[in-house]
Structure 1
Amino acid sequence: MSLRFSLMGPVRGWRDDEEINLGPRQQRAVLAALLLNNGVWLSNDQLIGMVWDDPKPSAVMALRTYMYKIRKALPELDLRSKDGGYALRAELVDDCREDPLEGLTSAYFEAQRVRLGDQRLRCHEARLEREPDVVELQKHVAAHPFRERMRALLMQVLYQEGRQAEALEHYHRARALLTGQLGLEPGPELRAIHARILNGDLALPPRPEQLPPDVDDFTGRAAEIARALDVLPRTVGITGMHGSGKTALAVRIGHLVRHRFPDGQIFVRGHDVVNELLRAVGVENPAGDGAALWRQKARGKRFLVVVDDLQDAASVKDLHVPGSAVLLTSVRRWNELPGVTWLKIAGLPASEACGFFHGLAGPAVLAAEPELVAKVLARVSHLPAPIRVLGGKLAGRPHWTVAMLLRQMERETVLGEAVPSDCRAVLAPLARAHRNLTDDERHLLGCFARQDTEVINVCEAAAMSGGEVGAIEPLLESLADVHLIEPLELGRYRLPAFVKLWFQLRAPVLTS
């Protein structure tokens, strides 16, 4: 349980998220005087002088009464009394935009109101300097037209957004205001910004260019690419099992549409998404609501954002900005995210998989042993990542045939974890998937993989694994969500050949 207090606007307090009734005005004035001197001992006379401009003799008794009521309303408050004085320690927050100490009218509170207002103004300006935003700066300059530093910052931000004429107009307005009302010329900071804008030597913010290089031998996915190009700039999600080429597809789409997004491309791995976006647009060590700050920064701009290997739907939930586009890749399809068009990818069509393998291993290999090539590709479910490794292996062994490669793959099914490094590279996508499964999911999938059949139903899965039907179906659905089995119809599932290969390789380990 925690207590928080605010002196901005009326004096207010909260116990966790519930607001507390702090009593009548004079009682709140006593509490405010203690809060303004957080941790400092105040005598009765000091407190009375702060709360009452012309105190009556009864003020001492009134003070004691208010202290009693404050303790009763806030028993957990660290309020101490000693030698006819009081002190407290409490957490203060600035939670609103109102004037401080509203309703408290003594000379002491008037002076504190001026001090807090000035302090708050400086803090707000410091935040605008760290995280400049055109709309907030325009509001601030309108409210405080003689604050030249903020007007200079507004001119700089406008110029950096390509709004040079507006930046120069702000200078002329400031000059007219200063000369007309104060008889002064603009100060050196305003004049310097004005000169740099005229000379064109004001540095522009860096444009993020984070999109990874396109893959030269990218193969297939024409239908998915066409669909994504049609949907963008609305959000597009790409889902599929590890090794299916989600990232490569997202990068290919990104390069095809990058000309639509002149403010830059941002590439983020699926962790700490908001802070990575903010760093990409120049905000270091952001504080507060990061998603709201990102929306401010991206407002009026056109960014292409690629979030690769999304791990948590909440991390991208509130990031959409009109005009900018988001491309998501994820093993899991996050159906709770609104407004996302999901594209599911799996293995390549057989002809495209052969073409990809042909380009990696060489045309002679495919021409000499087309049937064996088909067997090799089927064993890895036509997935691009393992095909790349196998094709590269053959290219690096010019005296090998596809038959030799296939014999090695078959021999490795009895080696357990003692397999060559290139075999580990082939299986790396499934190794990643396997690490993220629960023990029950691993057991069920292993039982399925050791069957002769490719298709099972829920009852067969329960019988082979020794589980209850009611508990097995959620496990099967969970495995289908990450594409380790394929849902065919309600209650029936198919096991991909590549997943079966993984469990064949692990069989000695699983049964030892």
Structure 2
Amino acid sequence: MSLRFSLMGPVRAWRDDDEIDLGPRRQRAVLAALLLNNGVRLSNEQLAGMVWDVPAPGAVTALRTYMYKIRKVLPELDLRSRDGGYTVRGAELVDDCCGEPLEGLQGAYFEAHRVRLAEQRLRVREEWLERELDVLELQKHVAAHPLRERPRALLMSALYRDGRQAEALDHFHRARALLNEELGLEPGPELREVHARILRGDLDLPRRPEQLPPDVADFTGRAQEIARALAVLPGTVGIAGMHGSGKTALAVRIGHLVKDRFPDGQVFVRGNDVAHELLRAVGVENPVGDKAALWRQKARGKRILVIVDDLRDPASIRDLHVPGPAMIITSVRRWNELPGVTWSTIAGLAPAEAGALFRGIVPVGPDDEEAVAHVLARVSHLPVPVRVLGGKLAARPRWTASMLLRQMHRESVLGEAIPSDCKAVLAPMIKADARLTEDERHLLACFARKGADVIDLCEAVELSGGEIGTVEVLLESLADVHLIEPLELGRYRIPRYVQLFYGLRTLAPTS
């Protein structure tokens, strides 16, 4: 249940989507004074001075009555008297664009805040106009506020960007005439600078990157991880997990959910030179020198969302943090040495979610439900192989899930060369295997031959023939990349998907 307030018009409040009756004008004035001082303790005397310019003798008594009524309609605010005063903490204020700020409230205190809030609203609007550079919206804003020079400079820039240089220059001359006539002033430095740069032809407009890949239409599950990321942003979010777990899809889904929070752009980077790619995204084509420092200079204060996909070297992002932008990192490894990152580790989907994803790709009859459950368990409910298997079955309309399961079983038992469609199912494991050492591969092959779901350090030493210290290091290295799951000290679970892959590798003939 959410509670939010607006002071940008009449004082209003909503609980979820239902508006709350806040009572008479003076009671709303008391609430407004508390909200304007969010987090600050106000004594009875201070509150009375805000609500009444010259408090009458009974003002404090009336104030207590209003506070009692506010507590009744807004119990979530916890407005109990403490140390002779009241405090509102963490109230969510929204701008419902409903009229003059603090509409209907009288007195010097509210008049001063009315002017401040109106100016704040204009600044927020002009920040949006600067990002959008929409000619029509700028023309409306300039018409409503003809003496504000900032939006006039933005309008000239927008006209120039649209190839309307003559109109931009004409707008400058009309603005100059108006300022002279109304205020007896010449245009300020910003207007003059934009005018001069248009004449020189070197007006360089900021680039707003919009690089988010398309969202996955049938994205399934991960509700807990999404909720955690939404709460952390604009902090730094890390998503770790084995290949095939859907880290990139999750990062992109989060990016689309929060893109409105980052109106200065969204950047998607994959590669080792992260700073170089970030600078290119904001218009620096051939960055030289200290790229991290240049990025911090360019991005400071900008609300940009950065997704760094498949991070392999934490040093490549360590010096990029700057106030303003937010970052989502995906990586097989969890880089604990990076400060300030809130990590989530993902593996397979819940069985019901994996089933829903599979059935969204190919219809499944009631007689095939058990076979589907076995098929999905063999790939540890990981979304990438689940999606490939669903597509494979959809491409064979005469097949059933039971037939698909029999084929998977036959391939794993006979040890034939892995067919191309099976390679697609196992592609995440093929990618993971390419990054392993021979000793790590040997250990996983030993586990696959044994066929156990859980194994301990002593069994691993016996199966591999290695030294206990060496095997312990190998086990932890495999756990770091999620090819085995640590249960407790010296004991690990081997995912079915990993067993499937290394079982095939063990049985497949070598050429």
CA distance in 2, matches of 1:501, 1:296: 49
User: What corresponds to 1:397 in structure 2?
Assistant: 396
CA distance in 2, matches of 1:396, 1:389: 11
What is the TM-score normalised by the length of structure 1? 0.61
Per-residue CA deviation, residues 430-460 of structure 1 (Å, 9 max, x unaligned), is 0000010001111111111211321111111
User: What corresponds to 1:165 in structure 2?
Assistant: none
CA distance in 1, matches of 2:194, 2:282: 22
Alignment check: 8 A CA contact 2:417 2:508 kept: no
Alignment check: 8 A CA contact 2:417 2:509 kept: no
After TM superposition, list the pairs within 5 Å mapping 1:76-475 onto structure 2.
193-194=194-195, 202=203, 204-362=205-363, 365-414=364-413, 416=415, 418-475=417-474
Residue 420 of structure 1: CA displacement? Answer: 2.4
Residue 416 of structure 1: CA displacement? Answer: 4.6
SS of 2:385's equivalent?
helix
Per-residue CA deviation, residues 265-302 of structure 1 (Å, 9 max, x unaligned), is 00000321110001001112211111111000001211
User: What corresponds to 1:130 in structure 2?
Assistant: none
CA distance in 2, matches of 1:205, 1:258: 18
Residue 250 of structure 1: CA displacement? Answer: 0.1
Seen in structure 2, the aligned counterparts of structure 1 residues 366 and 383 have a Cα distance that, compared at 3 Å, is farther
CA distance in 2, matches of 1:203, 1:290: 21
Seen in structure 2, the aligned counterparts of structure 1 residues 302 and 479 have a Cα distance that, compared at 3 Å, is same
SS of 2:450's equivalent?
coil
CA distance in 1, matches of 2:383, 2:413: 25
Per-residue CA deviation, residues 356-403 of structure 1 (Å, 9 max, x unaligned), is 1110111xx152311111000000000000000110111111110111
Deviates most, 456-465 or 212-221: 456-465
User: What corresponds to 2:85 in structure 1?
Assistant: none
Alignment check: 8 A CA contact 1:353 1:377 kept: yes
Alignment check: 8 A CA contact 2:242 2:483 kept: yes
Alignment check: 8 A CA contact 1:417 1:506 kept: no
CA distance in 2, matches of 1:193, 1:386: 55
Amino acid at match of 1:241: M
Alignment check: 8 A CA contact 1:353 1:382 kept: yes
CA distance in 2, matches of 1:243, 1:270: 19
Per-residue CA deviation, residues 309-331 of structure 1 (Å, 9 max, x unaligned), is 00100001011111211000000
SS of 1:369's equivalent?
helix
CA distance in 2, matches of 1:201, 1:315: 33
CA distance in 2, matches of 1:281, 1:196: 20
What is the TM-score normalised by the length of structure 2? 0.61
Alignment check: 8 A CA contact 2:412 2:504 kept: yes
Seen in structure 2, the aligned counterparts of structure 1 residues 371 and 298 have a Cα distance that, compared at 3 Å, is same
Name the % identity.
71
SS of 1:501's equivalent?
helix
Per-residue CA deviation, residues 105-153 of structure 1 (Å, 9 max, x unaligned), is xxxxxxxxxxxxxxxxxxxxxxxxxxxxxxxxxxxxxxxxxxxxxxxxx
Alignment check: 8 A CA contact 1:377 1:387 kept: yes
Gaps of 5+ in 2: 1-152, 159-171, 173-186
After TM superposition, list the pairs within 5 Å mapping 1:62-73 onto structure 2.
none
Alignment check: 8 A CA contact 1:277 1:294 kept: yes
Alignment check: 8 A CA contact 1:160 1:205 kept: no
Seen in structure 2, the aligned counterparts of structure 1 residues 466 and 257 have a Cα distance that, compared at 3 Å, is same
Seen in structure 2, the aligned counterparts of structure 1 residues 409 and 202 have a Cα distance that, compared at 3 Å, is same
Amino acid at match of 1:275: H
Alignment check: 8 A CA contact 1:358 1:366 kept: no
Residue 205 of structure 1: CA displacement? Answer: 2.3
SS of 1:267's equivalent?
strand
Deviates most, 307-316 or 284-293: 284-293
CA distance in 2, matches of 1:278, 1:215: 27
CA distance in 1, matches of 2:196, 2:347: 58
Alignment check: 8 A CA contact 2:451 2:499 kept: no
Alignment check: 8 A CA contact 1:160 1:203 kept: no
Gaps of 5+ in 1: 1-155, 162-170, 172-185
Seen in structure 2, the aligned counterparts of structure 1 residues 270 and 350 have a Cα distance that, compared at 3 Å, is same
CA distance in 1, matches of 2:415, 2:235: 46
CA distance in 2, matches of 1:272, 1:510: 40
Seen in structure 2, the aligned counterparts of structure 1 residues 239 and 192 have a Cα distance that, compared at 3 Å, is closer
SS of 2:372's equivalent?
helix
CA distance in 2, matches of 1:192, 1:244: 52
Seen in structure 2, the aligned counterparts of structure 1 residues 415 and 264 have a Cα distance that, compared at 3 Å, is farther
Alignment check: 8 A CA contact 1:238 1:328 kept: yes
Per-residue CA deviation, residues 155-202 of structure 1 (Å, 9 max, x unaligned), is x99x979xxxxxxxxx9xxxxxxxxxxxxxx9xxx968426679x995
CA distance in 2, matches of 1:202, 1:262: 22
SS of 1:450's equivalent?
helix
